[in-house]
Amino acid sequence: MSDFFHSFNAVRGIQAGRPCYIAMCPMRIIPKIFVFDEDEVPAELRAQRKLNKGRIPEITNYLIENRNDYTLSSLTASIDGETEFVSMDKSAPNIGTLKISMDAQILLNDGQHRRAAIEEAVNNNTELGHDHISVVFFLDNGLKRSQQMFADLNKHAVRPSPSLATLYDQREELSNIARRVMNEVHIFSRLTETEKTSISNRSIKLFTLSGIKNATKALLNKGKNDHITDKEIQLAIEYWKYVSNQIKDWELAADRKINSWELREGYIHAHGVLLHALGILGNQLINDKSSWIALDGLTSVDWSRNSNNWKGRAVVNGRITKSINNVKLTTNQIKKLINIKLIDNEKIIEQEFKSA
């Protein structure tokens, strides 16, 4: 071992017959240990590790804004160079000190964006530098296994569905409101899928929690970080209650008097495109309850996917589509059917649609 080395309290373990080590590292030294210099990374590993710089500010802000309530998962790294593990004592041979030569190359296999965000966050708030993050170190002379480790770690990483993320996210206001809307609007509470973004063929559900979130976001015209008042939340709940009273098939599905899968198969009002469109439409009406009477016209709308009302709007080549332009075209058609005037930008979209 060279005279100059990094030293970490660590726990030793075995994976796939090889030793690995888990160490708690002060965040202030993370940028110093894991220097991200593309020129030092072998060419075959370089392309995999290019940073998406757009992701870094989001993680940085998360750390700074939630100084006393954040969670970061472990970094994973390969070590190419001299190491030594010194056990604490014979009774605990796998607890001790991991020494890594300062001449060793340490390459991140998982956590490049967290490393970059930690560097920026610590520069912004030096107190964060005293916090720790766990690092899993693997010995990998010549970095021969690093490429496959990177591929394996990312191949098996599964992001939660937007609905599941909304269900558990306690920080984002729109997620909190989506859950309140789901719980307080009778139809939504009985017919919402909270774990998946898509609904299986024979499911009794009609809506997804992420769909309710997106529709309510459009209803209130709010961005991800915008503040939402209690009055706005209550208005959103009342709006969705009013709308749900006008679409009788939703109530029939909730009472199991009609199969949800049959509605999904034959009608657009059992799909997210319609919910989103109703959110956009409602943004014009929400602050004037007297105008909500126009929504009574929803009771007589033909929601059949075979109706010419939805051709090229909610339905393209026989398939339901929820691209933002199709959502807007669907909104326009609903407004025309229930006699609500189109606003200027909607007229432009309509003219482009008709001239296509």
Q: Which of 96, 121, 155 is the last residue of a domain?
A: 155
User: Does residue 196 share a domain with residue 145?
Assistant: no
Q: How many domains does the chain have?
A: 2
User: Does residue 211 share a domain with residue 176?
Assistant: yes
Burial class (CB in 10 A: 0-12, 13-18, 19+), 11: middle
Q: Please calculate the CA angle 335-336-338 and round it to the nearest 5 degrees.
A: 65
User: Does residue 340 share a domain with residue 226?
Assistant: yes
pLDDT at residue number 155? 75
Q: Rounded distance, CA 169 to CA 317, Å?
A: 37
User: Does residue 330 share a domain with residue 277?
Assistant: yes
Residue 79 forms beta bridges with which residues? 106, 139
Greatest alpha-carbon pair distance for the chain in Å reads 83
Which runs of E-coded beta strand occur in the chain? 5-15, 18-26, 75-80, 83-89, 92-101, 105-110, 132-139, 192-193, 207-208, 315-316, 319-320
Q: Rounded distance, CA 224 to CA 76, Å?
A: 31
pLDDT 10s digits, 49-74 = 567 888 899 999 999 999 999 999 99
User: Does residue 265 share a domain with residue 151?
Assistant: no
Interval 172-190 mean pLDDT: 95
> Taking 90 as the threshold, does the pLDDT of residue 107 lie above it?
no
Q: Please calculate the CA angle 203-272-297 and round it to the nearest 5 degrees.
A: 110
- The band of 309, judged by pLDDT with boundaries at 50, 70 and 90, is very high
Q: 337 and 309 in contact (C-beta within 8 Å)?
A: yes
pLDDT 10s digits, 204-226 = 999 999 999 999 999 999 988 88
User: Does residue 133 share a domain with residue 101?
Assistant: yes
Q: How many CA atoms lie within 13 A of 94 on its CB side?
A: 8
Q: Please calculate the CA angle 38-42-48 and round it to the nearest 5 degrees.
A: 70
What residues make up the domain containing 31? Answer: 5-155
User: Does residue 207 share a domain with residue 293?
Assistant: yes
> Taking 50 as the threshold, does the pLDDT of residue 47 lie above it?
no
User: Does residue 176 share a domain with residue 147?
Assistant: no
Q: Which of 120, 155, 190 is the last residue of a domain?
A: 155
Residue 319 forms beta bridges with which residues? 316
User: Does residue 91 share a domain with residue 226?
Assistant: no
Interval 263-281 mean pLDDT: 96
User: Does residue 167 share a domain with residue 146?
Assistant: no
Q: Which of 155, 178, 212 is the last residue of a domain?
A: 155
Query: CB within 8 A of 97, min separation 6: which ones?
Result: 7, 8, 9, 10, 85, 86, 88
| Pick from 238, 147, 133, 230: nearest CA to 185 | 238
pLDDT at residue number 1? 61
User: Does residue 12 share a domain with residue 127?
Assistant: yes
Interval 274-289 mean pLDDT: 94
> Taking 60 as the threshold, does the pLDDT of residue 164 lie above it?
yes
User: Does residue 128 share a domain with residue 10?
Assistant: yes
Which runs of E-coded beta strand occur in 306-353? 315-316, 319-320
pLDDT 10s digits, 76-101 = 999 989 999 999 988 899 999 999 99
